[in-house]
Amino acid sequence: MALVADALEGLPQAVHDALDNVEVVTQEWPSPDQLDYTEGDDRYVLLGLYEGIPLSDRVNYTMVLPDKVTLFQRPLEAVCATQRELEHEVQVTVVHELAHHLGWGDEDIHRMGFG
């Protein structure tokens, strides 16, 4: 999804520097295991997911698989009526999920306008 690449490109250098071992991918739909992170089984609810250990929780963290941010294409498209809305929602979702990697809590994320 080119929109994800655009969203990543627009991030500040400080964020890029913190993404050393993070893989950002797109997937059409969340898997059943990924839906376990939500309350319920509505696959339209989960727009993105961070799977990994936040930077703030790491101790002796070497030689490990990359953390992973997944954006779910169909749910993102379903909540947006226009291409412009989709571009905005992808940007918000990328920032939201990467914020989890950076160790920011949901309150921090909402306060910054990326709820």
- Return the CATH number at 74: 3.30.2010.20
Average pLDDT over every residue of 94-115: 82
Output the 3-class SS for the chain: CHHHHHHHHCCCHHHHHCCCCEEEEEECCCCHHHHCCCCCCCCCCCCEEEECCCHHHCCCCCCCCCEEEEEEHHHHHHCCCCHHHHHHHHHHHHHHHHHHHHCCCHHHHHHCCCC
- The CA-CA-CA angle for residues 89, 90, 94, to 5°, reads 115
Above 90 in pLDDT, residue 57? no
How far apart CA 55 and CA 105 sit, in angstroms, is 12
Average pLDDT over every residue of 9-18: 85
How far apart CA 101 and CA 80 sit, in angstroms, is 25
The whole domain housing 36 covers 2-111
Pick 11 or 109 by higher pLDDT.
Answer: 11
What is the per-residue pLDDT for 113?
66
What is the per-residue pLDDT for 114?
65
Pick 23 or 111 by higher pLDDT.
Answer: 23
Domain count, the chain: 1
What is the per-residue pLDDT for 58?
78
